[in-house]
Amino acid sequence: MDDDAGQIQHTHSVSAGLDYPGVGPEHAWLKDIGRAEYVGITDEEAMAAFHQLTRLEGILPALESSHAVAYGMQLAAAMRSDQTILINLSGRGDKDVQTVAELEGISL
């Protein structure tokens, strides 16, 4: 996420915790040794997952965690119903209610 001169590029993510142009050393290592696979999720997919989990389970995931939920749903679609997926919800979405309301034009 830097240019040829080593200047860091601007980033965008709907979730503040992901709006950052860096990767921690643990993740970089896990990727390099092939132990973890990393995928991308768009703002829209994350928002849809936020609503889905909230409506179906009454659990508000943080917008960061909503990215994982979105990918979990994509994976699940290709899996058997007796297989299990574990998603770590790294944070709660109460903190993001304002952001979601603003994005969707809801006045609180």
Partner 1 sequence: MSNRIDRRFKALAEQHRTALIPFITAGDPEPGWTAGIMHSLVAAGADLLELGVPFSDPAADGPVIQAASERAIAQGVSLVRVLEMVREFRQTDVATPVVLMGYLNPIERYGHAEFARDAEQSGVDGILMVDCPPEEMAHLRGKLDEHGIYPICLIAPTTTPQRMSLIARQGSGYIYYVSFKGITGANRLQETRLEQPIREVRAHCHLPLAVGFGIKGPESAAAVAGLADGVVIGSALIEQLADAESEQQACTRATDFLAPIREAMDNTGL
With binding defined as CB under 8 A, does residue 2 bind partner 1? yes
No. of helices (H) and no. of strands (E), the chain: 4, 0
Which tokens in the block code for residue 85?
């997926």
Q: Are 87 and 59 in contact (CB under 8 A)?
A: no
Part in contact with partner 1 (CB under 8 A); list of ranges 2-10, 44-52, 74-82, 88-96: 2-10
How far apart, in whole angstroms, are the C-alpha atoms of residue 34 and residue 73?
Answer: 23
Please identify, using beta-carbon distances, which residue of 22 and 34 lies nearer to partner 1. 22
Q: Which member of 8, 16, 59, 103 binds partner 1 (CB under 8 A)? A: 8
Please identify, using beta-carbon distances, which residue of 24 and 58 lies nearer to partner 1. 24
> Considering the complex, what minimum distance in angstroms separates the CB of residue 8 from partner 1?
5
> Token pair 């990393």 is at which residue?
38
How far apart, in whole angstroms, are the C-alpha atoms of residue 76 and residue 73?
Answer: 5
Q: Which residues contact partner 1 by CB under 8 A? A: 2, 4-9, 21
